[in-house]
Amino acid sequence: MSRSSRRTRLPLAALSLASASALLLSACAQSTDASKDTGDTAASASAATGEKPAPFSDGAVKVALVRQSGAGDYFEQWGNGAKAQAKALGIDLTVYDAQADNAKQATDLSSAINSGAKAIIIDHGFPATIQPEIDKAVKKGIKVVVYDVETDTKGVVSTKQNDASMAQAVLDVMAKEVGKDAKVGYVNVAGYAALDKRDTVWKSTVDAQGWKQAFKVGKVTDSTATDNVPLVSAALTQNSDVAGVFAPYDELAKGTVLAVQNKKLQDKVKVFGADVSNADIQAITAEDSPWVATAGTDPSAVGAAVVRTTALELAGQLNKTSVEFPAVAITQDFLREKKIENMDQLRKALPALNLSQVSTADWISNVAH
């Protein structure tokens, strides 16, 4: 949603996009020690050369990460990047994850406020539910950094994928692949900040290209990819002559791919998605896959960059209220030609995914991916 959101990421990246991906079934908060193994084999920290400013000069700094994550490896990689960067900075990171329960996220945020955290990072969420707690945190003097959450509270730092650039990057590829005046399909869900922004670009591209939108379906559930298969299959039954389908969130794209294959239309219908992860790369490069292009950011790099942004804000060195992470287009042809099978290989082949120069300073041990 990077794969965010008015409700949750759809990687959105987000929704991380988040990214984004189907929401996890478990609704239990998770308290995670950042010193534990993050599982991110691609992450290594470059040494800091500068003197640490306050509050980092005084030892470990307590930070809370309040998440509304989903299933799939986008969210896992985002979290791994955040944890690795926190460890490198000497941050004592406590992670809460509401996993599709909006009421629980508000409770988690309240717990984070009362935990003694110097800063709170909010990764996706439904603004109507968490806005009162955001206001409480700011009034209490806690630094608040949000990722793919819409809020107008003064003093909050906003971080996000550049969802417009993400949609435009992949739609530029789609325009070349299907041509003007084509009949096309659309799989998306309204009400998520990242997807709404991608929708705006979709609408303008449809007009500019003279495309004929044959259908729009889509929903987000605790099994988004699986639950969209029958929706897209039914739409394709009535519109098997569409040239392409745009599904601007990787779990929506996965469901669309399965539907196209179930209808045996993979030689006729091309799928254009958004977000990128190990699972997405495998789906795109699989034999007979109709998923021919996506666009995204590196979720691990984004998670790390959000933590660095928070560190700079705590040190009084950020001097801005928003940070955006640009997306890049990634085609099936590129992945196959370069024999790319995972994010580690993609990072090497596409240096533009590396956000190591975003939100950094000489005193920050910067996690490289």
CATH of the domain at 218: 3.40.50.2300
Of 296, 316, 348, the residue at which a domain comes to its end is 296
> Are residues 286 and 258 part of one domain?
yes
> Are residues 260 and 208 part of one domain?
yes
> Are residues 141 and 185 part of one domain?
no
Range of the domain at 309: 54-160+299-326
Q: Is 279 strand, coil or helix?
A: helix
pLDDT > 90 fraction of the chain, expressed in percent and rounded: 71
Stretch 148-153: mean pLDDT, rounded?
91
Chain-centroid distance of CA 213 in Å reads 26
Angle made by CA atoms 120, 123, 129, in degrees to the nearest 5: 85
Asked if residue 22 belongs to a domain, the reply is no
Compute the distance between CA of residue 235 and CA of residue 185 in angstroms, rounded to an integer.
8
The count of structural domains within the chain is: 2
CB 123, CB 16: distance < 8 Å:
yes
Stretch 194-216: mean pLDDT, rounded?
96
Nearest 10 degrees: Cα torsion 98, 104, 108, 109: 110
- The string of DSSP letters for 111-144 reads HHHTTT-SEEEEES--HHHHHHHHHHHHHTT-EE
> Is the confidence at residue 265, as pLDDT, over 50?
yes
Asked if residue 332 belongs to a domain, the reply is no
For residue 356, what pLDDT band results from cuts at 50, 70 and 90? confident
Asked if residue 24 belongs to a domain, the reply is no
> Are residues 129 and 89 part of one domain?
yes
Q: What are the two backbone dihedrals, phi and then psi, of residue 322, each rounded to the nearest 5 degrees?
A: -150, 145
> Are residues 149 and 244 part of one domain?
no
What pLDDT score was predicted for residue 217?
A: 98
> Are residues 253 and 235 part of one domain?
yes
